[in-house]
Structure 1
């Protein structure tokens, strides 16, 4: 895992010093080595900060040059099937100088061009300068594990793994994107392709970009279709899942540095650790964090899983003194990021990094087989939804969802329940953010600065895709969430939380072959009699007691309300009462929300946490510009 940066310009030679400065600012992502490469004629400068994982020798240094073609690459991530791909290339006559996966990408591109992406099994973001074609090839992995941010500038492009160093580049404007702010207030993250800056954009997952003298274009290279179902017995489906997931874990255990796992004690991380223990010849090192507030503390379950798997376990308690962490989080995320579970993610990654360089995790299980409560439909509800034809378009259903989210009267709420449970349950994913800021209050908060049609267009785009690639409500929600919440929130959260301390995290449940396998399974193996992640839980029962597997889901959260009313209250009030920190938001809406929370017991903790992190980001940018 690493950090990458670069500048390509066909008008004037990029300055190596500005690329070197971006690399310096992402050195936490790659503390082991740094490199810079200018193209022979000066159109391109690539930079790299290396976290050495595979081939620790100087032969793995980046930027890496292909001596046969003059092509050069900077690569962030891991290609888990690189050994098999290397053998394939060697059989075709290629010779390698290093043992790294980076060199394999260069060889594959030499033979297959952009179609090399179809062969890669892993997490990645890279930029490859094609010397003969005078173009740069950008790519991002299928699910969005690794970030790639870019800004189109006069005559070319500037890119970086993180937003904050890119925003400091002298050719990049720091003007705020009000559309992105509106999306943040709705989702509590900023989805691709937006960032908080007008000029900076995120390359979406499963896309590649090509830049040459004729311009810049982006293409999608992968998608998942849930409509092509396999006919398979439950036993065969279970055996197949175990085989696929075991292979995904085995591939991710290939490393030249110490390896461990983040263990929450939930089903997803526990099954990953169990499979690691089965494959490992020595105890797996596992890491967990908990809280003194019992309602948020999963340490006893993590310890139980560790004992069953025989791991070398390292538990830690997170105290409520986290005010010092928030400015650092704002800097590393580079834009407002309102998922409060970033706090425990930062702490558990720091704990793991003291012992290992690579850690497995259980990310993706809920989006793989339907683990959230919104997926939990009874057979009767699924039959009812299946009997209703798709007579409404995605835009009409989005408009319906928006209206239903705002209702308050008892009759209207009854109608909403009927529609979202028996008619179009997939609207639950469309409405999953309505508890943060509903459309009416958000418009007041923004002083109507956001475009009135932005959110309906955004929701409609993804719902239309879900309806095209899935037939059942559960599969449609899975498709929708895998394109929005998973890459926009969860994977951004973990990339920054881990890479801020130079820890590489790997997610077997997000292996694209595992995803494709599960997408093809009948819905009854995902949600069965109102229980989610049915097949994954059946697999976990092979390794853990049934009562451990089927306990109530906790999630990876923090006691936000208690902290905001307690130790974080001075910081909360100071930040939210600062006109500069809250610009351009409406003061009266903020003051009213804060008063209801502090003095009248109304739980606005999610809204206020989002505003607190927005203010932390604003203060960071103001300090940078001062």
Structure 2
């Protein structure tokens, strides 16, 4: 796992100082090695920082060059099928000099050109300079697990793994004037929105070809997820899911550095731990976060899996004092504002203390198999379609508390339903908090075009689409990436393994989802090994006692709204995430962190 950056200018060569500022702004994500490449003829510079997991020797140094010097690569991520690809390339006459997956990508591109991206199975963001075609190609994985941001102007293309790198290059980079509106609506910044003007993420499953002599660009998809159902037999689907996830875990455990697992005690992390045990045996290490506040503890469920697998387990106690002391570092780690991520900060910090370089996480299971409460409320979408928009909008004015959220249903689409479930402040509230018009806020919502095909999806598929493409994509994966890399830890997500995702999306929705039992298909695939006490209980997300902690935070800002919200927290009349959202986006000095 690494961090990458680059600058391609039309008229002048970027300085070493420029690329090193960008690169080293992200040094926490790559502490093991650093490299740069500056080409004066073609006015370009590349930077790389390395977190070593495969072939820990200096042979994995980047930027990496092809033997003929015609290709240069900087790469962030892991390719889980690199061994199979290397074998294929060897039969084609390619010779390898390292044990890295980086070298496999380099020669896969040399052999197959842009057709190679569809052959890669893993999580990755990369840039390859091709002097044969005078193209720079930026590529991002099928699920958008790893981040890659870029900015194109008349004079240059700039790219990096984190937004902070752009500000390191140009401290006065113009701010996106609308980011606070989006943030207070969603609780995160939905792609392609960032806090900076003209800096956007590369879309998942796509590659951007930039021809530097002409400064022209082409954005193309190499992976599109279709809803083409091929599996209507439930028994067969159960067997296929079990096989695919078992294989995914095996591949995600391949590393030359210590690998462990987050064990929350829930269904997803428990299954991953059970699958990891036959692979790691006595090397199986798990960790969890526990609290003095027993209402948030899942220790009893963690203990069941620990006893069943014999895992070497560490539980780390996080207190209110830990939160208060870590707050400045949490804000510094947060590359983009989010109402989540603090939990990922602490679990990643403790994983590093535990001596782990990579950990497996259960992200993706709820989205793929119907694990969220939103799946059980999907019939409300149909009801909203038959309710007049003016009536739904009126709930924002007359409703109280959670009832105000019905106002989001006036946007009669999957996005409206998503905001009803996951949205934070309704447009009227955002306008009041930011002193702008409600129309300006609503315009931000209308700028997102929801694909027309979503209206024809099964109800469960609609919810899965929303949870996958907004909540998981823009919050869970993004937060997990920058918080883990801040602590120089890689998080791997087996549920988003490409073959597994392709399999699951081919399963008919009546088999894939169940209104009676959340994640029923996944549970049935492992019911013979997964203890009933784990799957037959109410869902409890990975949550901290943030409400109580934030209610007692010392505030040093002259912001009456923030102080009033804290009083509501003390009286349990406001969810902590709404307080945190305004804390990050309001007029206080905290907003300057972004």
Q: TM (normalized to structure 2)?
A: 0.91
Match of 2:26 in 1: 26
Range that drifts further, 307-316 or 527-536: 527-536
Range that drifts further, 113-122 or 292-301: 292-301
1:415 and 1:350 mapped to 2: Cα distance?
Answer: 35
- Residues 119-138 of structure 1 mapped to structure 2, 5 A cutoff: 119-138=119-138
Match of 1:496 in 2: 482
SS in 2 for 1:331: helix
Distance of aligned partners of 1:300 and 1:455 in 2 relative to their CA distance in 1, 3 Å threshold? farther
1:312-365 deviation line (CA, Å, top 9, x unaligned): 1111111112123232222222332221xx222111112212322111111111
SS in 1 for 2:173: coil
1:73-100 deviation line (CA, Å, top 9, x unaligned): 1000000000001111111111111111
1:13-71 deviation line (CA, Å, top 9, x unaligned): 11121111222221111111111112361421111111111111211110001122521
Match of 2:466 in 1: 480
2:75 and 2:414 mapped to 1: Cα distance?
Answer: 41
SS in 1 for 2:487: coil
Kindly indicate whether residue 576 of structure 2 is the aligned counterpart of residue 605 of structure 1. Answer: yes
Match of 2:443 in 1: 454
1:238-289 deviation line (CA, Å, top 9, x unaligned): 1100100011111111111111111111111110111111233434100101
Match of 1:236 in 2: 236
Kindly indicate whether residue 219 of structure 2 is the aligned counterpart of residue 218 of structure 1. Answer: yes
Kindly indicate whether residue 284 of structure 2 is the aligned counterpart of residue 296 of structure 1. Answer: no
Question: Offset at 1:594?
Answer: 4.3
Match of 1:174 in 2: 173
1:373 and 1:404 mapped to 2: Cα distance?
Answer: 25
Distance of aligned partners of 1:157 and 1:3 in 2 relative to their CA distance in 1, 3 Å threshold? same
Match of 2:433 in 1: 445
Task: Assess if the C-alpha contact under 8 Å between 2:166 and 2:173 holds in 1.
Answer: no
Match of 1:361 in 2: 361
1:443-469 deviation line (CA, Å, top 9, x unaligned): 11222268344343255x2363523xx
Unaligned runs of 5+ in 1: 579-586
Distance of aligned partners of 1:405 and 1:95 in 2 relative to their CA distance in 1, 3 Å threshold? farther
Kindly indicate whether residue 326 of structure 2 is the aligned counterpart of residue 328 of structure 1. Answer: no
Question: Offset at 1:173?
Answer: 4.3
Match of 2:51 in 1: 51
2:116 and 2:413 mapped to 1: Cα distance?
Answer: 39
Match of 1:348 in 2: 347
Task: Assess if the C-alpha contact under 8 Å between 1:77 and 1:124 holds in 2.
Answer: yes
Question: Offset at 1:433?
Answer: 3.0
2:158 and 2:367 mapped to 1: Cα distance?
Answer: 33
Unaligned runs of 5+ in 2: none
Task: Assess if the C-alpha contact under 8 Å between 1:80 and 1:252 holds in 2.
Answer: yes
Question: Offset at 1:122?
Answer: 0.3
1:138 and 1:486 mapped to 2: Cα distance?
Answer: 22
Distance of aligned partners of 1:240 and 1:166 in 2 relative to their CA distance in 1, 3 Å threshold? same
Match of 2:305 in 1: 305
Task: Assess if the C-alpha contact under 8 Å between 1:333 and 1:496 holds in 2.
Answer: yes
Match of 2:146 in 1: 146
Match of 2:184 in 1: 185
Q: TM (normalized to structure 1)?
A: 0.87
Distance of aligned partners of 1:145 and 1:593 in 2 relative to their CA distance in 1, 3 Å threshold? same
Task: Assess if the C-alpha contact under 8 Å between 2:413 and 2:450 holds in 1.
Answer: no
Match of 1:582 in 2: none
1:555 and 1:264 mapped to 2: Cα distance?
Answer: 9
Question: Offset at 1:231?
Answer: 3.9
CA root-mean-square deviation: 3.0
Q: How many residues align?
A: 586
Distance of aligned partners of 1:523 and 1:331 in 2 relative to their CA distance in 1, 3 Å threshold? same
Task: Assess if the C-alpha contact under 8 Å between 1:462 and 1:483 holds in 2.
Answer: no
2:218 and 2:256 mapped to 1: Cα distance?
Answer: 37
Question: Offset at 1:216?
Answer: 3.0
SS in 1 for 2:196: coil
